[in-house]
Amino acid sequence: MHAGYGIIRLMNQPSSPDTAQTKKQHIPKVFWAITVLFVLLLAGAGYLYATNQLVVAIGGSNEKPVTVVSSVCGKDTIKTFNDAYEAPTSEARTAGFKAAFDEVTAISGYASDPNCVFIRYTHFIELKDTASAQKEVDTLKKLADKNLYASSILTSVRPISSLESDIKFITNPNADTDAGSGGQG
């Protein structure tokens, strides 16, 4: 009986500071610290994704990756350009493209941003200045070789081949109709 009494006595002893109760207090602190860090990480990634500074790609592809860089043309310049596209009159449209063109030209390094180059191209096409528009297309081709393309945030952004077709049409508007009318004689 004496041995059984010792076991009961050990179970009823007050716990020392190094027991499981102290360890239980540390576990929640570590858990909360990790949870807070995880939430901050998710919030930061969400912000970067929402501001187009983080791109997520899943899976493989045979396509060349598109390089994402920060834009030289700001949101205000792009808004000026997009508003010009939706202008109710041709005069307002031309004035809006001129305003966007002037904003782009005032930015140093605009030739490294395909959005800026596309805005300049559109202004030259509006003026029917095909030589200057072709220079902008040539710049867009060089940027495309580096996997840099104009963004869909611009109204009516199109492939380079379509831009070249615009220049050809303005240069020789009857080229397509002359080619198709050779059968009569």
**End-to-end CA gap in the chain:** 129
Query: Any idea which residue has 């782009």 for tokens?
Result: 104
Residue 164 has a pLDDT of 92
Distance, in Å, from the CA atom of 67 to the CA atom of 158, rounded to the nearest integer, reads 18
Q: Do 47 and 80 fall into the same domain?
A: no
Q: Do 43 and 82 fall into the same domain?
A: no
- pLDDT, tens digit, 9 for 90 and up, residues 101-151: 999 999 888 999 999 999 999 999 999 999 999 999 999 999 999 888 888
Q: Do 27 and 86 fall into the same domain?
A: no
Q: Do 143 and 112 fall into the same domain?
A: yes
Query: What's the pTM?
Result: 0.59
Q: Do 93 and 131 fall into the same domain?
A: yes
- pLDDT, tens digit, 9 for 90 and up, residues 75-84: 899 999 999 9
DSSP of the chain, one letter per residue?
-HHHHHHHHHHTSPPPTTSHHHHHHHHHHHHHHHHHHHHHHHHHHHHHHHTT------S--SSPPPP----SS-HHHHHHHHHHHT-SSHHHHHHHHHHHHHHHHTSTTGGG-HHHHHHHHHHHHHTT-HHHHHHHHHHHHHHHHTT----TTSTT---HHHHHHHHHHHH-TTHHHHHHTTT--
- Whether 44 is in a domain gets the answer yes
What is the count of structural domains for the chain? 2
Query: Any idea which residue has 């610290």 for tokens?
Result: 33
Residue-number span of the structural domain to which 125 is assigned: 75-173
Q: Do 123 and 80 fall into the same domain?
A: yes
- Whether 4 is in a domain gets the answer no
